[in-house]
Amino acid sequence: MPTSKKTNKASARSSTLSGVRSTILPNGVAVVTERMEGLRSQSVGVWLGLGSRHDPIGKAGLAHLYEHMVFKGTRKRSALRVSQELEAVGGHLNAFTSREQTCFYAKVLDRDQDRAVDLVCDLVTGAKLGKKDLELERQVVLEEIRGSEDDPEDLVGELFAKALWNRQMLGEPIAGTLDSVAKLTVEDLAAHRERSLSGGVPLLVTASGNVDHDRLVATAGRALESRAFGQRILQQVDRVGTKQSSRLVVQKDVSQVNLILARRCVGAHHADRHALGLVNLILGGGMSSRLNQEIREKRGLAYSVYSFSDFLLGTGALGVSLGTEPAQAVKAVRVVSEQIRKLRLEGVSRKELRFAKDHAAGAAVLALESSSARMQHLGKCLLWYGRPIHLDEIMEHIEQVKPEQIERVLADQFPDVLEENGWTLSAVVPQDFKGNLLN
């Protein structure tokens, strides 16, 4: 990505990546597009470098509630006009809040590019944030939270984050809690907007599909010209502490046990992240993985079992998710523990490593087949790494993983499943469950 001082004109360059162009607007906003031949559509997103991990202490759910509130109308558009403007031409408007970013995005026909860009930029900069709207939308979010608490799989996911990142904002639910959301005010929302539009927080525009880059730059420039955003592209996050909570078990009126065994792992910038991703695939990343074959296919101990790796800035999560009958839960966890130990001690065969590389490369290609996926890939790469990362580069990193990297990852990241080795347990269990799931 280019870095330049503000001028009266946008600075631009054509990327060495096929079809990718990037421009820095005079007010510091990065605009990056990727042209995809053969499409009549495009996806465009405006990214804020703020997610739930950036919420102030005691105000969990603020970024998520703000995401909801912008759809209640702006100074230029009513809520009805916001909802109708793209639907009237067959388009789609949405947003999401993750732990590290918020993205407002649209998918439209190429002919409607200007309409989509102007609308999404208006949502980011011009939300009204009225008190009456807040009370209405607060109830919507509270119902969303209650729905998650009623779903054992959703609830165990929230417990897992809390156990892994104890007393840090990473450990709070993205949507917040019933208590935290009930206390959020219009002033909190306004402060969040000002923070998101300050020079200290990255703001990006990304688009993929049949995109006219020069026209998008002009439209975004007009829509965003009233704000000065600075030149920062990369996100910055607070240091991740070391304290963890080993067990969080909730008893509910359920008939199954849903649990997650997890520990912290390397982050999005670590050199071993690709090796760890391959080991995760071998352990529990698909139907042919060790965990699925051993626990479900051979022993019938669980209806759902898989492993996962999630890379964030400065940290990551490695874990195993399991859903099973209460009578099988303790045995199933024991088998998970045995398989992790066996994997570490025996290592990965050449055949397994080749399989995992081919699996990962194929999945990466398939995941980026749509304009929406490419737009989101651009935004995340810019915020995490400061530049677009082409699919060929990702596949090259996967292919270059060496056996010695796999051995290092197994030794460093897959200790025995014990509390003293950093493993946490999160579980939703029946009210009469008495099993000891983490010995």
**Any idea which residue has 């998650």 for tokens?**
148
CA 275 vs CA 85, 112, 278, 423: distances in Å: 45, 42, 5, 20
**Any idea which residue has 């996050």 for tokens?**
237
Task: Report whether 208 contacts 386 (CB < 8 A).
Answer: no
For 407, what's the count of Cα atoms within 13 Å in the CB-facing half-sphere? 6
Structure tokens given for 242: 């070391």
CA 294 vs CA 165, 184, 283, 297, 318: distances in Å: 30, 47, 10, 6, 19
CA 173 vs CA 6, 56, 247, 380: distances in Å: 38, 13, 17, 20
Q: For residue 175, what is the DSSP state?
A: T
Burial of 321 from C-beta contacts in 10 A (0-12 / 13-18 / 19+): buried
Determine the longest span between alpha carbons in the chain, in angstroms.
70
Catalytic residue status for 67: yes
User: H or E segment at 394?
Assistant: helix 391-399
Mapping DSSP onto H, E and C, the string for 339-369 reads HHHHHHHHCCCHHHHHHHHHHHHHHHHHHCC
- Distance between CA 309 and CA 266 in Å, rounded? 9
67, 85, 137, 158: the active-site residue: 67
- CA torsion 53-31-311-372 (nearest 10°) is 100
Task: For residue 437, give every residue at least 6 positions away whose Cβ sits within 8 Å of its Cβ, in sequence order, or none.
Answer: 249, 257, 259, 329, 330, 333, 425, 427
Q: For residue 201, what is the DSSP state?
A: S
- Distance between CA 432 and CA 260 in Å, rounded? 19
Please give the full DSSP string across 47-111, using - where no structure is assigned.
EES--GGGSPTT-TTHHHHHHHHGGGBBSSSBHHHHHHHHHTTT-EEEEEE-SS-EEEEEEEEGG
Task: Report whether 266 contacts 272 (CB < 8 A).
Answer: yes
Residues marked as catalytic: 67
